[in-house]
Structure formats: C-alpha cells, structure tokens
C-alpha cells in the first residue's frame, strides 16, 4: 500500500483490516484510512483493535501507526479500526479553509506563494511569501473567505500526470508536498466556481475556480461544510514571510462573539451607532 488513502476517501472512518507487521508499539496495516501527519496537517486520532492510536507517521509512502501501548495481537490478526470523526472532520474543515484563504490571498495580494501550513487545535496558520499586510486587507480576506463558504462551492480532488500539472498556469508543483505524489502523478485539489446565480439556482460553469493546488491533505466535499470560519490576524515569521491565521468551528464562533462584544461596548461608551464608531474615534483623535 502506498500513499494516503485517507486523503482519497476522507469520509471513511471505520474499517477492518489485517495487521501486516508489529514492532513494539508500532503497527502496520494492510489497508489504512488513518492520515499520517504531513504537510502541516496533524495525524488522525482513533483506535486499532481497541487500543488508542498515539501517532501516525507517513514513512516511505506507508502509515506507521504508533499505539499508546504495546498490543497483544500480532501479524495476521484482523483488527477493527476507528478514526476519531470529530478530529478528522476538524482537519478536513481547517485544511479546506486554508485553500479558500489561499484563493483570497491571490485575489488581494497577487500570485504570492504559499510557503507552508500548520493546522493547530485552535489556530490554522497559512505562511505566505509576502510582507505583513494592513488591517484593511485582513478584513477583506475575512470577507472573501466567509463568502466562499456561503457560496457552497464544490471541492474535488484527482490525481493527474505531473507533466500536465506543470503546464497548468495556476498550479504550483511543490516537491515538498511529498504525500501528494505517487509515481508520475500528483494529487490536485480544486475549489470550484460559484455555480449559484442571483436567483439561488445552480448553473454550470467550467471557469472561475477559486483555488487549484497540489495537496495531499483531507478535505470536505463542499465549502459549506467548513462552517464558521474567521481570519484572526497575522504574525511575522522572518523577512518576507508572513503567517495569516484563521479559526474554524467553535473557536471562530468565540472569536466573532468577542469581537461583537467589543464593538457594541465601544459604540455604547462613545454614545454613537455601531457604524459611526470609526468616524467618532477619528474625531476624538
């Protein structure tokens, strides 16, 4: 078995398979739907034969499952495996959100290169080869990301010849995305065009894809599945490299709630409407 089956079939979380090798607390499976940590996306959580999976590492194209304790079963045993759905879905949402953000970055800052990704339990960081951006740009990025989620754009993935990917004007074939390559083919993830018109009906469009990227991670099938998402801010990592951070799910809800509390409190203190706060602050300055 080679590659990340989890990336091809991200909604598969329960399966039974044969244990092909055991070495201490490390287990290899004939078929695995566990995602091995790669490309800034953490490893899946779950159980194998009832034992907790502490880590999954992608080694030479295969998943090495590290258990929390040494198993009693051995090679040839058939084990029932379960991937923790809540964490898998969080990573699917977060990784898709990072692609939506990458598309928004290109539309606001130009064809800047995405230099890295880190999916944390609370914050998702997208590293960009660009200087720090101003607050107006961060607000625009937040609006674009939220709008693409609302537009329910399709998300798809396919393996295509590397030569074809290199010819595509919008695909950056990054050799560092090692888990996206299998032989002479590379996995490409596409966030499609907005296929809903002003009347709310679906139309057919082959143009206007939001983002096309080489990627080996797990993703949802439609941007609406990303759910609540918000751009948090940015941080400078080094010269010419800026990390734009976002939150997905409950953390995004908490952030938006906190921002709304601050906005309402500020308007109340100033004695003006919410929309008049910027002008009143300028006047006080």
Instruction: Provide φ and ψ at 268, rounded to 5°.
Output: -65, -40
pLDDT digits (tens, 9 = 90+) for 268-280: 999 999 888 889 8
What distance separates the 2 farthest-apart alpha carbons in the chain? 76
pLDDT at position 176 is: 64
Check residues 120 and 62 and name the one with the higher pLDDT. 120
Mean pLDDT (whole number) for 131-151: 94
Is residue 164, in this structure, part of any structural domain at all?
yes
Q: Residue 130: exposed, middle, or buried by beta-carbon count in 10 A (0-12, 13-18, 19+)?
A: middle
Instruction: Provide φ and ψ at 134, rounded to 5°.
Output: -85, 170
- Which residue range(s) make up the domain with 41? 5-83
pLDDT digits (tens, 9 = 90+) for 32-64: 999 999 989 999 999 999 999 999 998 887 899
Q: How far is CA 61 from CA 47, 89, 222, in A?
A: 21, 23, 28
Residue 157 clears pLDDT 70, i.e. is over it: yes
Residue 282 clears pLDDT 70, i.e. is over it: yes
Judge if 62 and 107 occupy the same domain: no
Is residue 261, in this structure, part of any structural domain at all?
no
Is residue 162, in this structure, part of any structural domain at all?
yes
DSSP 122: S
Report the half-sphere exposure of 239 (CA within 13 A, side-chain side). Answer: 0
Q: What is the CATH number of the domain that holds 243?
A: 3.30.980.10
Task: Using only the alpha carbons of the chain, give its radius of gyration.
Answer: 22
> Which band of pLDDT confidence, cut at 50, 70 and 90, is reported for residue 208?
confident
The reported pTM is 0.90
Judge if 192 and 65 occupy the same domain: no
Q: What is the CATH number of the domain that holds 41?
A: 2.40.30.130
Is residue 281, in this structure, part of any structural domain at all?
no
Judge if 135 and 230 occupy the same domain: yes
> Which band of pLDDT confidence, cut at 50, 70 and 90, is reported for residue 189?
very high
pLDDT at position 169 is: 66
3-state secondary structure at position 6: helix
Task: Report the distance separating Cα 35 and Cα 44, nearest Å.
Answer: 5
3-state secondary structure at position 214: strand
Of the candidates 22, 52, 83, which is a domain's last residue? 83
Number of independent structural domains in the chain: 2
């Amino acid at each position: 078995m080679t590659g990340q089956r989890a990336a091809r079939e991200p909604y598969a979380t329960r399966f039974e398979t044969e244990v092909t090798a055991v070495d201490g607390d490390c287990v290899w499976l004939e078929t695995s739907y566990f995602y091995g940590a790669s490309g800034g996306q953490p490893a899946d959580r779950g159980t194998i034969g009832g034992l907790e999976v502490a880590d999954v590492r992608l080694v030479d194209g295969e998943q090495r499952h590290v258990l929390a304790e040494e198993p009693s079963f051995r090679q040839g045993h058939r084990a029932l495996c379960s991937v923790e759905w809540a964490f898998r879905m969080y990573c699917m949402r977060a990784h898709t959100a990072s692609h939506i953000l990458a598309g928004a970055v290109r539309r606001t800052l130009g064809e800047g290169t995405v230099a890295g990704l880190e999916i944390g339990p609370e914050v998702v960081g997208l590293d960009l080869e660009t200087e720090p951006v101003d607050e107006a740009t961060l607000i625009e990025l937040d609006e674009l990301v939220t709008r693409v989620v609302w537009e329910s754009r399709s998300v798809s993935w396919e393996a295509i010849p590397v030569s074809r990917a290199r010819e595509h004007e919008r695909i950056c074939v990054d050799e560092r995305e090692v888990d996206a390559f299998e032989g002479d083919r590379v996995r490409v993830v596409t966030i499609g065009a907005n296929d809903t018109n002003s009347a709310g009906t679906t139309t057919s469009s082959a143009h206007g894809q939001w983002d096309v990227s080489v990627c080996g991670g797990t993703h949802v099938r439609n941007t609406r599945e990303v759910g609540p998402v918000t751009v948090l801010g940015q941080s400078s990592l080094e010269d010419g490299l800026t990390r734009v951070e976002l939150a997905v799910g409950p953390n995004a809800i908490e952030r938006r709630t906190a921002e709304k509390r601050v906005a309402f409190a500020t308007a109340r203190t100033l004695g003006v409407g919410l929309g008049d706060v910027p002008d009143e602050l300028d006047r006080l300055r």
